[in-house]
Structures are given as C-alpha cells and as structure tokens.
Amino acid sequence: MTKQEAIATAEAIGNCKAASEKLGVPRRTLLDWLDNKENIDEFSGAQTSKTLKGQRAKSIMPFAHDMVTFMKDGRREEEV
C-alpha cells in the first residue's frame, strides 16, 4: 500500500484512529502523512520510497574537500 492509498483510505473513513488500525500504520505516522499530503502528492520518485529525498545531513565543514586538496598539495611539495 502506498502513502497516497493510505491517505485516501484515511480521508474516506474520516477517523484517523480507525484508519490507522485498519491499515496497520501507526496513528502518528498517518497523521504526518495527512499533514504532508501536498508534498507526497507532488513527489515524482518511487512511490515506495521511505522519504521525500533531499534530507541529507548538512556538512559541518563545507570546505572539507578543499582542505583535503590543500593538505595533499602541501605533502606533495614536501616530497620534492
């Protein structure tokens, strides 16, 4: 069952608790899906995806790649 099907079932039943028991989905999860209905409907990826994507952790050091390059360049210069 997809999230869209679960949302449609919950809306048809009208009672979130009864819908969550019928679907076998935690009530809080179903409420979250109902709150995010617009984003879920617009999502163009795989319908069985667990997230809406793009939710990666933000890098603590956005310049990490540049720093590694700088360190490697320094080591190369030391070898010469």
Q: Does residue 74 sit within a domain?
A: no
42's enclosing H/E stretch is helix 37-42
Is 65 part of a structural domain of the chain? Answer: no
Per-residue pLDDT, 48 = 62
Per the structure block, which two tokens stand in for 43?
């999502």
- The predicted pLDDT at position 10 comes to 92
Task: Determine the Cα–Cα distance for residues 15 and 62; give it in Å rounded to an integer.
Answer: 46
The end-to-end CA distance of the chain, in Å, is: 63
Whether 60 is covered by a domain: the verdict is: no
Domain annotation covers residue 61:
no
Residue 59 lies in a domain: no
Per-residue pLDDT of the chain (80 residues; tens, 9 = 90+): 788 899 999 999 999 899 999 999 999 999 999 998 888 888 766 666 666 666 667 778 888 889 999 999 999 999 76
Q: What is the pLDDT of residue 59?
A: 75
Q: Considering the domain boundaries, does residue 5 fall inside one?
A: yes
Report the pLDDT value the prediction gives residue 2, as an integer from 0 to 100: 83
pLDDT of residue 31: 93
Range of the structural domain that residue 43 is part of: 1-54
- Whether residue 37 lies inside any domain: the answer is yes
Residue 68 in domain: no
In the numeric block, the tokens 């009864």 are attached to: 18
